[in-house]
Structure formats: C-alpha cells, structure tokens
C-alpha cells in the first residue's frame, strides 16, 4: 500500500495503477492491482493471491481515513495482511493510517530502507567520526531553524547557506538589498547566532555573494566581497571565497551532513556553490550523508550520486529526525515491537 500526491478525491491522475505495471516489470512474480483499498474487491483479490504474488492497493489517500489516521480505516487495512512492514521513510513523519495507525493492529517491523536511514542519520548525529561538519542550506530560516538549533553542540562546524543566509545577515545589521528575508524570524535568527557563541560549534556564514538585480536565469551577475549588498542586489549563490571556506572544512571532516542547496542551483548561472559542495563531498574520504530532495537533485544533476555514502529518501522526515522530533511511523513500530 502507498499513496501518490494529495488528491482531494479519487481521480485517474493520482491512481497507482501505473505503479503496479512498473512493479510488474521489476519482479518475476504476478503483480495484481486492487482498484479500491479496503472494499470488497480488495478483500476478494487478497483471498485469491497465490504464494509469492503481490497485490498493490489503490492510492490510500483516496480514503479520508488515511490522513485522519482513523482507527477503523487502520483496522480495515490491517485485516488484509498478517504483518506490517514500514519501509517508507519519506512519510514516516506523518501520523497516517498506512504509516502509523495500522501498526496498532498487526505485528509490525521496519524494512531494510528504514533500517538503513536510521543507521546513518542516528549514528551520524549520536556517534559521529570527528570533525563533524553539517551544511544546512535552503530558502527559509523558518524551515531549518529547529535543525540548526538541534545541531548546536553536536557538530564541530555548522555551515549556513542558501537564501536563508540573508535573514541571519540582516539580523546582524548587514544590508542585504532585495534578497529574501523573513522579517518575523530576525529575532530568532539573532538569538540562534548568540547561542552559537557559547556553544562548541563553529558557525560559518557566507563571506561573499553572487548577486543580480533581476531574479531570472540570464540576469547579469557580479560577486560582492563581504556582507554589505547594495539596495537593488539579490543574493542567489555563494561567492568564491565562501566556496573555498566550505571546501576547506569538508577536506578535513570525517563526517559530513548536507541538507539544502547553497544557491539557486536550478539556474545554471547560480549553481556553482551547490555543485562545488557536491564535488567536494564526492572527493572526500568522510562519511557523507545527504538529506533533502533539493540536495539529492543537485547531486544527481552533476552525476555524483554514486559517490555519496548515503542519500536520504526522506525530505521532511530527515529534517524532523535531525530536529530531534519523534517520527510517528517509527515510534509506532517501537511501541508494538521491541
């Protein structure tokens, strides 16, 4: 069982039928598809399954009880099987029926992917080989501040990049032009920087920037040395000095955790910083862990996926895990099977 998208009602666009066809090409056993989830047809198909055969249920999000984690829907799902294996780390942070609720009604276990994700993420944070460097990028402070706070005192070096840089710089009193800033997070950003001063973690912010006056792929760009941008400047990537700082820290690291791009890598002109990090990780002897869809996409774009120790499949899940939050899809397994 699985889901696709966030459909408001059942529709062919979000059906898992194509997934069943794709799965059938990968395995050497019959793959059947149930056009419902817990209805009479699904139950009939379950009863007719032969040994080793596979049945894929229709998109569980077609049923309101999925996202509501309705106990009756969870019980109905559980009635279709004998054991539950949770192997969707990417949705383990969701307390839904198919990710957590069903575990209350069946013997439940973690799959190999969940095992691998937890081994790397948990071990890296709790028992890292040092120096331990974390690189956290992305566009908004609001989405990463909890992760940054949780990593203080746990990592030796914490490198902050991406558009969220400008909220931190603005909080310090620097002029950031028209760069993206979250005004309601300035106080939080300054508090984090002050807390960092009394921690064992060295926090590194960019020291130069690739800036434009128009946000478009072919915009004319210049490098600004330092952290004072003109009024019409928009920061879209880290500059060469910052790239050197980051690659230097990676060079001496034994463990590196990377989540979030350091620039607008989707536009070739502003991908240099992000790609430089990817190349530095590929050339490093450190344990390299990449989390987040954008970081994984950047690595894939420059053909370096195979050079990373581990690329997490969970964007939101890996972030929440790194924040120290409990993942419902994992805690449900721990409650029923220790």
Centre a 10 Å sphere on the Cβ of residue 189 and count the other Cβ atoms it contains: 24
Residues 330 and 302 in one domain: no
Residue 271 in contact with residue 262, Cβ under 8 Å?
Answer: no
Centre a 10 Å sphere on the Cβ of residue 52 and count the other Cβ atoms it contains: 9
The yes-or-no verdict on residue 281 having pLDDT over 80 is: yes
Total domains in the chain come to 2
Residue 86 in contact with residue 109, Cβ under 8 Å?
Answer: yes
Which residue in 243, 233, 292, 293 sits closest to 272, CA to CA?
A: 243
Which residue in 155, 157, 1, 20 sits closest to 80, CA to CA?
A: 1
Residues 103 and 201 in one domain: no
Token pair 């558009």 is found at 163
Rounded average pLDDT over 285-312: 90
Tokens of 336: 């029923």
d(CA 212, CA 192): 28
Domain membership of residue 178 (yes or no) is yes
Domain membership of residue 318 (yes or no) is no
Domain membership of residue 7 (yes or no) is no
Sorting pLDDT into bands at 50, 70 and 90, what band is 125?
A: confident
d(CA 41, CA 35): 8
Domain membership of residue 52 (yes or no) is yes
Residue 25 in contact with residue 54, Cβ under 8 Å?
Answer: no
Residues 207 and 332 in one domain: no
Residues 128 and 18 in one domain: no
Residues 132 and 261 in one domain: yes
Residues 266 and 142 in one domain: yes
The yes-or-no verdict on residue 236 having pLDDT over 80 is: yes
Sorting pLDDT into bands at 50, 70 and 90, what band is 336?
A: low
Residues 170 and 264 in one domain: yes
- Give per-residue pLDDT as tens, 72-118: 999 999 999 999 999 999 999 999 999 999 999 999 999 999 999 99
Residues 300 and 240 in one domain: yes
Token pair 């001063």 is found at 197
d(CA 97, CA 70): 6
Average pLDDT, the chain: 94
Tokens of 138: 């992305």
The yes-or-no verdict on residue 197 having pLDDT over 80 is: yes
Residues 55 and 126 in one domain: no
Domain membership of residue 317 (yes or no) is no
d(CA 162, CA 140): 8
Rounded average pLDDT over 50-76: 97
Residues 107 and 243 in one domain: no
Domain membership of residue 246 (yes or no) is yes
Rounded average pLDDT over 211-221: 96
Measured between alpha carbons, how far apart are the two ends of the chain, in Å?
24
Residues 288 and 331 in one domain: no
Number of H helices, E strands in the chain: 13, 13
Rounded average pLDDT over 61-78: 97
d(CA 336, CA 331): 9
* 266 vs 313: which has the higher pLDDT: 266
Rounded average pLDDT over 204-226: 97
Q: What is the pTM of this model?
A: 0.88
Sorting pLDDT into bands at 50, 70 and 90, what band is 185?
A: very high
Q: What is the pLDDT of residue 21?
A: 97
Residues 191 and 271 in one domain: yes
Token pair 């399954």 is found at 49
Tokens of 203: 């926090």
- Please give the residue range of the domain that contains residue 215: 121-311
Pair type for strands 287-291 and 255-259: parallel
Question: With pLDDT > 70 as the criterion, what percentage of the chain qualifies?
Answer: 99
Which residue in 75, 104, 112 sits closest to 335, CA to CA?
A: 104
Domain membership of residue 106 (yes or no) is yes
Sorting pLDDT into bands at 50, 70 and 90, what band is 209?
A: very high
Q: What is the pLDDT of residue 337?
A: 47
d(CA 177, CA 165): 13
The yes-or-no verdict on residue 177 having pLDDT over 50 is: yes
Domain membership of residue 319 (yes or no) is no
The CATH number of the domain where 244 resides is what?
3.40.50.1260
The phi, psi pair for 108, rounded to 5°, reads -130, 145
């Amino acid at each position: 069982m699985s889901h696709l998208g966030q459909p408001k009602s059942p529709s062919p666009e979000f059906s898992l039928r194509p997934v069943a066809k794709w799965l059938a090409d990968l395995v050497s056993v019959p793959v059947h598809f149930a056009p419902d989830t817990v209805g009479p047809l699904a139950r009939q198909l379950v009863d007719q399954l032969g040994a080793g055969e596979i049945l894929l249920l229709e998109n569980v999000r077609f049923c309101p009880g999925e996202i509501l984690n309705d106990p009756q829907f969870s019980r109905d799902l559980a009635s279709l099987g004998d054991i539950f294996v949770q192997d969707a780390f990417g949705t383990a942070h969701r307390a839904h029926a198919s990710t957590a609720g069903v575990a209350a009604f069946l013997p439940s276990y973690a799959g190999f992917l969940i095992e691998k994700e937890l081994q790397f993420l948990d071990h890296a944070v709790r028992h890292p080989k040092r120096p331990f460097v974390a690189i956290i990028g992305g566009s908004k402070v609001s989405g990463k501040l909890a992760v940054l706070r949780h990593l203080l005192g746990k990592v030796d070096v914490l490198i902050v990049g991406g558009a969220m840089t400008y909220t931190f710089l603005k909080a310090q009193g620097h002029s950031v032009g028209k760069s993206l800033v979250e005004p309601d997070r300035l106080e939080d950003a300054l508090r984090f920087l002050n807390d960092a001063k009394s921690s064992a973690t060295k926090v590194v912010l960019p020291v130069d920037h690739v800036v434009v006056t128009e946000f478009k792929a072919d915009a004319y760009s210049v490098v600004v040395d330092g952290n004072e941008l003109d009024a019409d400047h928009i920061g879209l990537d880290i500059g060469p000095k910052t790239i050197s700082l980051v690659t230097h820290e990676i060079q001496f690291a034994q463990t590196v955790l990377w989540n979030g791009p350091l620039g607008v890598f989707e536009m070739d002109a502003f991908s240099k910083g992000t790609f430089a990090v990817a190349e530095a990780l590929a050339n490093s002897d450190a344990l390299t862990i990449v989390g987040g869809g954008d970081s994984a996409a950047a690595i894939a774009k420059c053909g370096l996926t195979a050079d990373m120790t581990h690329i997490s499949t969970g964007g939101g899940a890996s972030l929440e895990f790194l924040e120290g939050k409990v993942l419902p899809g994992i805690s449900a397994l721990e409650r029923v099977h220790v």
